[in-house]
Amino acid sequence: MCGIFAMTGHINKQQMNSVLESMKHRGPDEGKEVPLTHFHLGHQRLSIIGLHDGIQPIHNEDESKWIVCNGEIYNYPELKQELQKSETFLTESDSEVALKIVEKEGVEGIKKLDGMFAFFIANEETNSFIAARDTLGIKPLYYGKDENDEYVFTSELKTLYQVTDDVKEFPAGHYFTPEQGFVCFRRIKNPTTTTKEEPEEAYTSAIHDALTKAVEKRMLADVEVGVLLSGGLDSSLIAAIAAKLNKSEKPIKSFCVGSEGSEDLLRAREVAEAIGTEHYEYIYTQQELIEAIPHVIYSLESYEPSLVRSALPNYFVSKLASQHVKVILSGEGADELFAGYDYLSKFETTESLNEEIIRIINTLHNINLQRADRMSMAHSLELRVPFLDLELIDEALQVPAHLKLHTVEQMEKAILRKSFNGMLPEHVLWRKKEEFSAGSGALDILESYSNEHISDEEFEQLNQEATIPIRSKQECLYYKYFKESFPQSSALETIGKWATA
């Protein structure tokens, strides 16, 4: 996990130092810049794979092609084994596999990469480049042009604003070349419907195998991997599977935060004891929560209320986890994939439900996934999301709507629960979903504080000044902090919006 910077043309040493400093939290282990003939590359590294020789930028043998990459390529061992028949590798880094496969197969090679990634490959021979972002946008990427019309690509807004005010989000599942522009290399599709429905056991078996495999591939690392554990279904399943797959002599570490007496803390302790993790928790005070708001919004690069509310506990749990591990597994994506939201019950056919599931999965890059990436990386922690594995998504989309939907007779995510019968204590496996910020005790604190500190007059005044409608006093408070950190108007265009304020 890293912070990347890449541009056509060059910036001076002082500006590059500011660039590297602005993304040091994404990779505190090593920082490096390389001014090439046609490009200027910068990188801050959090070493996870290839600890001793994976410093970036990485080049090929004749130094004609260079890569800066953020993320992980989970299938890099298989790809590397095949590529080694004709290619020479200079490092143990998974990022070099991305460079080699594009060098050998061109942009078509990007389709073979299974992982979360954002990268830039500079070609010094042709004075051209390729930038790409993974299918779901799990890893962030922004781009723009500077005053000299040079392209600039970075991992975060705050880094890009060091060079230009022209800022846009790079679309997920696309690559970009100056010759072709943006090209979609992969997107999630609604599966072709079949007339024959499989027995329920066929779906539960497929989901069980796919999620287990997804967790297993995300435990690939040269450092220790831990789990976030709120005590809810999604994180508990990931933690239980990881604990079962753990090959270390030491138990896997789990982490939870909350306010004093909050439900998350109590539930997580219970699950940790049941599955045998080495459990850590942190109890934050109301004052700590309030003081963290501006720091969270600066790191999050958004003021969306639902996002900020859930980001605050994420911020504290990432801080806790980073004191013990470098990589963490999260339960993000289960509600989207397995229809955990009540409103989805109105989509009664499998095709219409899948269309809505695909739509919301494709928006995660600037809501849930943005929160997950920014809060973990604010503390130099790599977060991985097994539920958003592409093979698991394919399997989940095969499940008929009536087996997924929340009804009077059927609990939400029933098919997921049935897929792991016996993996968790019965009352945990069938526990009703609760919003993370509610379970952690943050929701009431934030609501009260916003109402106390934003008057009706200030709310009305800010609504008149803002270029977008401010929907609540909470949003008003967060918007004020956001504008202090990101006064540029282009920043507002990158904000993902949930339906609720």
88-121 burial, b if ≥16 CB within 10 A, otherwise e? ebebebbbbbbbbbbbeeebebbebbbbbbbbbb
- Give the sign of the dihedral formed by CA 396, CA 402, CA 407, CA 408: negative
Residue listed under structure tokens 């200079």:
90
CA separation for the pair 134, 132 (Å, rounded): 7
Domain boundaries defined on the chain = 2-184, 200-447
| Residues annotated within a binding site for L-glutamine | 94
CA separation for the pair 436, 470 (Å, rounded): 23
pLDDT of residue 501: 37
pLDDT of residue 499: 47
Q: DSSP for 242-274, please give it.
A: HHHH--SSSPPEEEEEESTT-HHHHHHHHHHHH
> SS3 for 220?
coil
pLDDT tens readout for residues 403-413: 999 888 899 99
CA separation for the pair 416, 400 (Å, rounded): 13
- The yes/no answer on whether domain 2-184 falls in CATH 3.60.20.10 is yes
Residues of the chain scoring pLDDT < 50: 499-501
Number of Cβ atoms within 10 Å of the Cβ of 5: 27
When computed from its CA atoms, the radius of gyration of the chain, rounded to whole angstroms, is: 22
pLDDT of residue 486: 96
- Give the sign of the dihedral formed by CA 349, CA 354, CA 359, CA 364: positive
Strands 39-45 and 2-8: antiparallel
As a residue count, the chain comes to 501
Tokens representing 444 are 């009431």
* Distance (Å) of CA 179 to CA 6, 143, 182, 327, 378: 17, 16, 9, 37, 35
pLDDT of residue 488: 93
pLDDT of residue 496: 82
Query: What is the side-by-side order of every strand in the sheet holding 115-123?
Result: 58-59, 65-73, 115-123, 128-133, 174-177, 181-184
Catalytic residue status for 2: yes
**Identity of the residue numbered 159:** T
| Residues annotated within a binding site | 94, 228, 257, 330-331
pLDDT tens readout for residues 219-242: 999 999 999 999 999 999 999 999
CA separation for the pair 415, 204 (Å, rounded): 7
pLDDT tens readout for residues 66-124: 999 999 999 999 999 999 988 889 998 999 999 999 999 999 999 999 999 999 999 99
CA separation for the pair 120, 34 (Å, rounded): 13
Number of Cβ atoms within 10 Å of the Cβ of 157: 21
pLDDT of residue 87: 85
Torsion (CA) 461, 466, 469, 472 in degrees, nearest 10: -50
CB 378 within 8 A of CB 25: yes
pLDDT of residue 334: 97
Number of Cβ atoms within 10 Å of the Cβ of 202: 12
CA separation for the pair 99, 120 (Å, rounded): 9
Tokens representing 416 are 């997921």
| Residues annotated within a binding site for ATP | 228, 257, 330-331
Class of domain 200-447: alpha beta
CA separation for the pair 3, 43 (Å, rounded): 6
> SS3 for 457?
helix
**Which letter does DSSP use for residue 466 in this model?**
S
**Which letter does DSSP use for residue 431 in this model?**
P
> SS3 for 100?
helix
The helix, strand and coil proportions of the chain, stated in percent and rounded to the nearest 5, come to: 45, 15, 40
Nearest CA to 104 among 80, 75, 71? 80
Nearest CA to 215 among 201, 196, 197, 236? 236
Number of Cβ atoms within 10 Å of the Cβ of 459: 18
Residue listed under structure tokens 């539960």:
204
Own/partner long-range contacts of 179-183 (Cβ < 8 Å, ≥24 apart): 179/128, 183/107
CB 36 within 8 A of CB 8: no
CA separation for the pair 129, 77 (Å, rounded): 25
**Identity of the residue numbered 17:** N
Q: Which of 2, 69, 256, 476 is catalytic?
A: 2
CA separation for the pair 324, 134 (Å, rounded): 28
* Distance (Å) of CA 154 to CA 75, 96, 142, 346, 480: 24, 19, 5, 40, 25
pLDDT of residue 466: 83
CB 170 within 8 A of CB 153: yes
